[in-house]
Amino acid sequence: MVVATEAEVGPFVAGLTRVAAAGPRVTRYRAPGHDIDVLISGVGMVATASWCSRVLAVERFDLALNLGVCGSFTTSIPPGTVVHVVSDRLAELGAEDGDSFLTIHQMGLLRDDEFPFTGGRLVNDSAPPIASLTSLRAVDGITVSTVHGNEVSIARVTGHFTPDVESMEGAAFMYSCLIHGVPFAQVRAVSNIVERRNRSAWKMNEAIAALCAASLRMLEP
């Protein structure tokens, strides 16, 4: 299990039995029928990709699960909703061309289907057949280093990619899992609508509670 911060996984691990530290940033827990290693990767793509690849290079897992919060680009996915991100994009990887943006694929530096990409996206087309996972709303995400909070940039990115949600780690996690051949799922809870930064409208506590409840259901037989 990969999370950016301890806060996002606190209610989840509170119901598990702590076994021991299993390496830098990794703690091993036990639940009925499961051994669970929790990696606190830190915030952002660089930290997530680096720590995920470090762990996946030395350990073999039946499933990798990325838990976190995200922003929603649509009011039809309101704060508190838990979603399964089945495709993700590195939305800032490219070049500006005047008022336009060229993706790394449009620039010809990567083919659209060059591994691990599919049609320019990172796609989870073989998610684990867990009932509580398949019951979640499947969405498309983008991963960014700077979360959107400006009407102009929001309109630009939604016009270019039509994403449902955005995070700061998701695509890095998916990239790592795809290159290491590990079954995975990216599960996130919406903490806010993507708009001009408005912390008073965020539902962070509600999102984390919903996220951890959904994650615990995945452990059920």
Mean pLDDT to the nearest integer, 24-29: 96
- Number of residues in the chain: 221
**Rounded to two decimals, what is the model's pTM?**
0.95
Encode pLDDT of 108-126 as tens digits.
Answer: 999 999 999 999 999 999 8
Residue 82 — pLDDT band, cuts 50, 70, 90?
Answer: very high
Task: Evaluate if residue 221 carries a pLDDT over 80.
Answer: no
pLDDT attached to residue 15: 86
Task: Identify the CA nearest to 70 among candidates 159, 220, 202.
Answer: 202
Task: Identify the CA nearest to 66 among candidates 55, 76, 74, 75.
Answer: 55
Mean pLDDT to the nearest integer, 142-160: 95
pLDDT attached to residue 219: 87
Residue spans of the domains in the chain: they are 64-218
Q: In terms of CATH architecture, what is 64-218?
A: 3-Layer(aba) Sandwich (3.40)
Encode pLDDT of 161-171 as tens digits.
Answer: 999 999 999 99
Residue 99 — pLDDT band, cuts 50, 70, 90?
Answer: confident
Hey, how many other C-beta atoms are within 10 angstroms of the C-beta on 76? 9
Residue 157 to residue 211: CA distance in whole angstroms:
26
pLDDT attached to residue 211: 96
Residue 48 near residue 144 (C-beta atoms within 8 A): no
- Retrieve residue 11's tokens: 């209610």
